[in-house]
Structure formats: C-alpha cells, structure tokens
C-alpha cells in the first residue's frame, strides 16, 4: 500500500498542522463577512440573459424529445403489431 500512495494516511506525519485553531492563508474565502460582502450579495434580477438562454435551451430539448416520441412511437407500435400477426 505504501508503494502505491506516496503520503502516509496521517496528516500529522506530513508536517501539516490541521488544527482548527491554526489560521490558513485562504481563510477569508471560507469565512464570509456579512458587512464586507453586502455589496456582492445584494441580489439581482431573476430574468437575465443567461437564465433566458437556459430556459430556451431546455424548451428546445423538450420539444425535440416530444417530437421524437411522437414520430417514433407509432412506428414502434405498428412494428410490434405487425410482428404479432
């Protein structure tokens, strides 16, 4: 097993301090501050170009799927009926 994985399973052996009391350089990214982040979390419009494009793509896919089912379902049913005869 040690030949397959270069690091030991215990992080303390690596020399890493994984204590929750030890600050890390990227802790500001993981600990949001409501006062600092208020301008970014103000919200926005529900109707955006990206949202409309997503809904349009889903609609196009749904219409295509329904069209395929409408075209091939009768063909499948007819072929099953013909095989039973």
Q: Buried b / exposed e across 59-79, counting CB within 10 Å, b at 16+?
A: eeeeeeeeeeeeeeeeeeeee
Rounded CA separation 34/42 (Å): 11
Residue bearing tokens 């030890």: 22
Residue 45's pLDDT band (cuts 50, 70, 90): confident
- 49-59 residue pLDDT tens: 999 999 999 99
What's 16's DSSP letter? -
Nearest residue to 70 via CA among 60, 59, 62, 81: 62
pTM for the structure as a whole = 0.47
């Amino acid at each position: 097993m040690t030949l397959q994985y270069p690091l030991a399973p215990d992080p303390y052996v690596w020399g890493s301090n994984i204590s929750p009391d030890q600050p890390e350089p990227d802790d500001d990214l993981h600990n949001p501050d409501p006062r600092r982040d208020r301008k970014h979390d103000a919200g926005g419009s529900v109707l955006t170009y990206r949202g409309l494009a997503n809904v349009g793509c889903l609609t196009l896919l749904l219409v295509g799927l329904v069209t395929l089912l409408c075209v091939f379902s009768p063909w499948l049913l007819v072929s099953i009926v013909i095989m039973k005869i």
